[in-house]
């Protein structure tokens, strides 16, 4: 990847961080998004002494590092620190070569729904078709509320993920992995929407139950690439009008 391509991807990851914050998937300083460069390097949001939080992420906050947490090029970590939970990204990418991006976020609705014992199920259909299919395929839970700062814990989380693109980390947050940075964040938005709807149904005295099996034939799974571009344009436009 040349310097211009690297700069473009830094900007994309920074935008994704700001989108996640705008959607209340993160708050304050916590949460990070990464993009794979090759089998040894990734770009990831790092912290500095001038960091104002995820909502204000700059391209310069996205640093090139090796999978072992060392600088990808000389001086890349001058004034910056890698996230404590780098193993979330590294172990996910090592286990799944098909993934190019990982988002570790802290959406309160998802955490509270899980703590309340509410499983993420496809409560609706055409309201959010990608989200419905995400739920139908199952959203697993990593049942430890720990800081995932070692390779061992990262491997545990990936094992709990069970091949799914999204996992809930109990009492902690979520990890979403995908082929693109945009898709990783859009999956998180869909998961948060499902959790929020589940909480609303329960608070209204209702029961969360999946849609009817016969409905799936008229909810075509068009794949993330079909809707991703339009959905991501909307998210970027929302940023400009905040």
In 3D, which of 153, 135, 152 has the Cα closest to residue 144?
A: 153
Q: 23 - beta bridge partners?
A: none
Note the Cα 61 to chain centre separation in Å: 18
Beta 166-169 vs 141-142: how paired, if at all? parallel
**C-alpha distance from residue 82 to each of 85, 103, 179 (Å):** 8, 15, 22
Rounded Cα distance between 46 and 52, Å, is 12
Which of 12, 39, 85, 240 is catalytic? The answer is 85
Sign of dihedral through CA atoms 242, 17, 25, 48? negative
Question: Is 85 labeled as catalytic in the residue annotation?
Answer: yes
Token output for 157 = 């989380």
- Between the CA of residue 98 and those of 102, 119, 163, what are the distances in Å? 11, 27, 11
Please state the separation of Cα 114 from the chain's center in Å.
17
CA angle (209, 213, 217) in 5-degree steps: 135
Cβ-count burial of 215 within 10 angstroms (0-12 exposed, 13-18 middle, 19+ buried)? middle
Q: Which residues are catalytic?
A: 85
């Amino acid at each position: 990847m040349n310097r211009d391509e690297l700069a473009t991807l830094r900007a994309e990851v920074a935008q994704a961080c700001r989108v996640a914050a705008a959607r209340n998937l993160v708050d304050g300083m916590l949460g990070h998004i990464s993009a794979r460069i090759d089998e040894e390097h990734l770009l990831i949001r790092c912290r500095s002494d001038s960091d104002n939080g995820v909502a204000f992420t700059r391209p310069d906050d996205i640093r090139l590092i090796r999978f072992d947490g060392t600088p990808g090029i000389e001086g890349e970590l001058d004034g910056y620190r890698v996230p404590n939970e780098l193993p979330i990204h590294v172990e996910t990418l090592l286990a799944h070569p098909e993934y190019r991006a990982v988002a570790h976020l802290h959406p309160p609705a998802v955490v509270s729904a899980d703590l309340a014992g509410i499983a993420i199920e496809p409560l609706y259909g055409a309201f959010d078709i990608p989200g419905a299919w995400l739920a139908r395929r199952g959203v697993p839970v990593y049942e430890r509320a720990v800081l995932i700062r070692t390779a061992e814990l990262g491997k545990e989380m990936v094992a709990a993920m069970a091949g799914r693109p999204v996992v809930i980390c109990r009492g902690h947050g979520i990890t979403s992995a995908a082929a693109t940075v945009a898709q990783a964040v859009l999956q998180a938005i869909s998961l948060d929407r499902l959790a929020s709807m589940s909480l609303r149904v329960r608070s209204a005295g209702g029961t969360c139950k999946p849609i009817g099996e016969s409905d799936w034939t008229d909810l075509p799974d068009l794949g993330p690439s079909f809707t991703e571009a339009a959905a991501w344009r909307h998210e970027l436009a929302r940023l400009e009008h905040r």
